[in-house]
Amino acid sequence: MKKTIIMSAIALSFTLVTAYANPIKVNNDNSYVLENIVEASPFHLSIVKGDLETVKKLIELGSNVDKKWNGLTPVMYAAKFNRTEILKLLIEKGADVKKKCDKGHTALDYAEMSNAKEAKVILENELEKK
C-alpha cells in the first residue's frame, strides 16, 4: 500500500510538471524553439518496474490496457521486460496482443528481441487461441 501511495505521488508530480511546462523558448535573437515534452506514464512505468500491485490498482482506477506510451502498448513493455505476471493480467483484462507499435513491431517481436522466453511463450499461447 505504501508503495502505491508513493508511486501515485510521483505520478502526480510528473503530471503537474508536464502540465505547466512551456514547450516554446525564445532565443537571444528572438527566434523560437519548440521543445519536445515527454509525459511520464505511471501505468507504463509500473510495468517496466514490475510493480504488479500498482499495475492492478491503476487498472482498477481506469488505466487503458491498450494505450500507447512512447509508441508502445503496456503488453509490449511487459513482453520486453519479461514481466510475466503483469503480461497475464493485461491479457486477462483484454489487452490487444496483436497491436503494433509505431515502428511496426508486436509484443511477440519485443519478447523475441529482448530474449524474454517466458513472455514469448505466454504470447504465443494467447495468439494460438485467437
Q: Answer yes or no: is pLDDT of 114 > 90.
A: yes
Q: Which helix (H) or strand (E) holds 122?
A: helix 117-129
Decide which of 79 and 26 is more confident. 79
Q: Quote the cell numbers at residue 106.
A: 508486436
Give φ, ψ of 25 to 5 degrees. -115, 150
DSSP 69: B
User: How far lies 101's CA from each of 47, 50, 53, 54, 98, in Å?
Assistant: 17, 21, 26, 24, 10
The range of the structural domain enclosing residue 61 comes to 2-129
The total number of structural domains that make up the chain: 1
Per-residue pLDDT tens over the stretch 65-112: 999 999 999 999 999 999 999 999 999 999 999 999 999 999 999 999
pTM: 0.71
Beta strands per DSSP E along the chain: 24-26, 32-34
Identify the pLDDT of residue 54. Answer: 95
CATH code assigned at 20: 1.25.40.20
